[in-house]
Amino acid sequence: MKVNSADIVISAASKKQYPKTPIPEIALAGRSNVGKSSFINRMIQRKNLARTSSKPGKTQTLNFYIINDKFHFVDVPGYGYAKVSKKERAKWGEMMEEYFAEREQLKATALIIDIRHKPTEDDQLMYDYLKHFELPVMVIATKLDKIKKGQRKKQLKMIFDVLEMEEEDALIPFSSETGEGKDVAWRTMLSHLNL
């Protein structure tokens, strides 16, 4: 996939601000600081379009990016950051409901998890939540560069089992650092986008 153009459309704080264009989109979900923004940047080969940070819990808006004028990536605020107030947590829940329950343009979600660790309870809840809306979920097991080659198979099987993944959902080992997994991730996304 050749990316000719990529731009931020809007950082949306509420539904009113979502783009109204009917073009298809893929959302990125995952724990805060797991590597969602890095995933976007690697996929489109732009170092810093999607803002990455060492401070977790930073992204509190839905950030819409337009790629090749053909589809949107939607960077969704992360979950599971301990130092978040009850009020912020409730607001996050409302934002998710507003987006995932009703967004017609949404074709699939990429759930980003860390290949080094057992998916958290929040990861499991998120996977089930997305499946409840009958959405295709591609699970991106990122930070592949951080484990030894010999551990890959075992980690992937563990992730598949813990999430109780459906057979039709793709589980893709990936590294934003090296770009490994990028071609498979593109192929899977384009098929969901019908492009």
Ligand X SMILES: Nc1nc2c(ncn2[C@@H]2O[C@H](COP(=O)(O)OP(=O)(O)OP(=O)(O)O)[C@@H](O)[C@H]2O)c(=O)[nH]1
Binding residues (CB under 6 A) for ligand X: these are 30, 32-38, 52-54, 56-59, 78, 142-143, 145-146, 175-177
Residue 111 near residue 137, CB atoms below 8 Å: yes
Between 165 and 174, name the residue whose CB sits nearer to Mg ion.
Answer: 174
Half-sphere CA count of 112, side-chain side, radius 13 A:
30
Please give the residue ranges that form the binding site for Mg ion (CB under 5 A): 36-37, 59
Q: Contact, 99 vs 16, CB < 8 A?
A: no
Angstrom distance (rounded) from CA 182 to CA 89? 32
* CA nearest to 108, candidates 140, 81, 144: 140
Largest Cα–Cα distance of the chain, in whole Å? 48
Nearer to ligand X, 108 or 112 (CB): 112
Please report where in the chains the tokens 């509190």 appear, as a residue: 60
The site partner of 72 among ligand X, Mg ion, none (C-beta below 5 to 8 Å per kind) is: none
Task: Concatenate the DSSP letters of all residues of 69-111 into one string.
Answer: TTEEEEEPPPB--SS--HHHHHHHHHHHHHHHTT-TTEEEEEE
Cβ 8 to Mg ion, closest distance in Å?
13
Select from Mg ion, ligand X, none the partner in contact with residue 132, using the beta carbon and a kind-dependent cut-off of 5 to 8 Å: none
Q: How far is the CB of 174 from ligand X (least distance, A)?
A: 7
By a kind-dependent CB cut-off of 5 to 8 A, residue 105 interacts, out of ligand X, Mg ion, none, with none
In the complex with ligand X, the residue whose CB is nearer, 122 or 195, is 122
Tell me the closest approach of the beta carbon of residue 154 to Mg ion, in angstroms: 28
Judged by beta carbon distances under 5 to 8 A according to partner kind, the member of Mg ion, ligand X, none in contact with residue 173 is none
Distance in Å, CB of 114 to Mg ion, minimum: 14
Give min distance, CB of 179 to ligand X, in A.
9
